[in-house]
Amino acid sequence: MSMSGKDRAVEVMAIRCPKCGREYDVTLFEFEKGVICECGERIGLKHKEFTDNLGKELKHYEQEVEEEKLSKIKRASEKIVSLILILIIPA
């Protein structure tokens, strides 16, 4: 099942502790700052790692948007063809 853009944005905005799974908002990691989780694990996120992951998600999201646009165009073209055939071929 594919996630919506909103769901994906929420997923990208949360950084999970590898030890306990607690999630932290990505804004806590600005300027390569780290966070010490309640379980004691130090969590860090390098700028490059974040931008690489975000870039991958953005490409995937853009592909989904394009596929949805193509699907809408295909449905519209099928309706147009049906209308033309109705007009051309007598019942």
85 burial class (0-12, 13-18, 19+ CB within 10 angstroms)?
exposed
pLDDT in tens, 5-56: 545 444 457 788 889 989 888 777 777 778 889 999 888 776 566 677 777 8
22 burial class (0-12, 13-18, 19+ CB within 10 angstroms)?
middle
pLDDT in tens, 70-83: 999 999 999 999 99
Task: Give me the sign of the Cα torsion angle 64, 69, 71, 72.
Answer: positive
The whole-number pLDDT of residue 30 equals 73
